[in-house]
Structure 1
Amino acid sequence: MLNWNDIIRFSVKGNPTPDRRVEKTPEQWRAQLTPEQYRITRQHGTERPFSGELCSVYEAGEYNCVCCGTPLFDSTIKFDSSSGWPSFTQPIKENAIKYIKDTSFGMVRVEIQCNTCDAHLGHVFPDGPAPSGLRYCVNSLSIDLKKEAAHE
């Protein structure tokens, strides 16, 4: 289980190697994504709090990168942070997320990106619930929910 010290270490000393890489031109990303998905994932944008459709969804499934389909988070570690964005306590795999030190807007934060395609997802903070204490604060438009199939 990752903790805040791991996140800081990754953001300073380098990230884990992803299982694969996906690289496309800006034109290819624009053709694939909606304008708002492009603004958020490729131009490091942020959606307005409480505006994302996945903010209050808690159905069983897997949250994948909207750009490349890489599994990022599992619904079992999603929680209501009251922040206005979907929040998770851990990535699905240690090497699913890339951590970047972010000093924009006069503060120090850790940006999270898809480690496969560098899509901007949001930020991670050390104010989440036990046991990890992490809160991965993710833009709804940067992820897709792949719902678990109902068992018959």
Structure 2
Amino acid sequence: MTDFDLTPPDAEQRQALVAGLSDEERRVLLHHGTEAPFCGVFLDNKREGVYCCRLCGLPLFRSSAKFESGTGWPSFFAPVDEAHIGRIRDTSHGMIRTEIVCARCGSHLGHVFPDGPAPTHERHCLNSVSLAFTGEGEPYPDPLHRGGAEAASA
């Protein structure tokens, strides 16, 4: 069980969060877009910390689970907590894939594939614009102003 409140933002909170997004962030997070490969700000990030949802701040992936996949997108072999991501069957673009979304706000993060390293053998392939980064020892973002675990440090 997660230490984080997974209650979705209410309409007013969601409107405020969406208002702060760039056009590219809206396209990816809200409309299931994909950023171009090899251009994302977090592709080569080597800092220790946690990658959080860009929209609602929920912690999603630890830097210790990040690996170089060669695909052009930040890749992780496991989430912080499986309860923090949702998995949705995606049959767009003539293929069957598994889309991953933030379990709290439903924002599109990327896709997960069964070709990652041990121990999970999963590759969570994410869009950098779907993420925010919290460095080791820094407080998690709390855009929903819920306090509690969200305000705790990484």
- Give 1:91 shift: 0.6
User: Which residue of 2 is the match for residue 6 of structure 1?
Assistant: none
Question: SS of the counterpart of 1:39?
Answer: helix
Q: Do the aligned partners of 2:17 and 2:56 also contact (CA within 8 Å) in 1?
A: no
Among 43, 51, 55, the alignment partner of 2:43 is 55
Question: SS of the counterpart of 1:100?
Answer: strand
The root-mean-square deviation of aligned C-alpha atoms, in Å, is: 1.7
User: Which residue of 1 is the match for residue 33 of structure 2?
Assistant: 45
- Give 1:29 shift: 4.5
- Give 1:131 shift: 1.3
> If the length of structure 2 is used for normalisation, what is the TM-score?
0.81
1:35 is the counterpart of 2:4: no
Deviations 1:85-144 (Å, cap 9, x if unpaired)? Answer: 000001101100000000001100000000000000000000000111000000000001
**Partner amino acid for 2:121?**
G
Q: Do the aligned partners of 1:96 and 1:114 also contact (CA within 8 Å) in 2?
A: yes
User: Which residue of 2 is the match for residue 104 of structure 1?
Assistant: 92
**Partner amino acid for 2:8?**
R
Structure 2: which 5+ runs fail to align?
Answer: 139-154
Q: How many residues align?
A: 133
**Partner amino acid for 2:116?**
G
1:111 to 1:90, Cα distance in 2 relative to 1, 3 A: same
Q: Do the aligned partners of 1:73 and 1:92 also contact (CA within 8 Å) in 2?
A: yes
User: Which residue of 2 is the match for residue 131 of structure 1?
Assistant: 119
2-structure distance, mates of 1:61, 1:31: 26
> If the length of structure 1 is used for normalisation, what is the TM-score?
0.82
User: Which residue of 2 is the match for residue 3 of structure 1?
Assistant: none
1-structure distance, mates of 2:43, 2:124: 13
User: Which residue of 1 is the match for residue 9 of structure 2?
Assistant: 22
User: Which residue of 2 is the match for residue 115 of structure 1?
Assistant: 103
**Partner amino acid for 1:124?**
V
1:143 is the counterpart of 2:143: no
- Give 1:23 shift: 4.2
Query: Structure 1 segments of 4 or more deviating over 6 A?
Result: none
1:64 is the counterpart of 2:52: yes
Deviations 1:33-92 (Å, cap 9, x if unpaired)? Answer: 111111100011100000101001121001000000000000000000010000000110
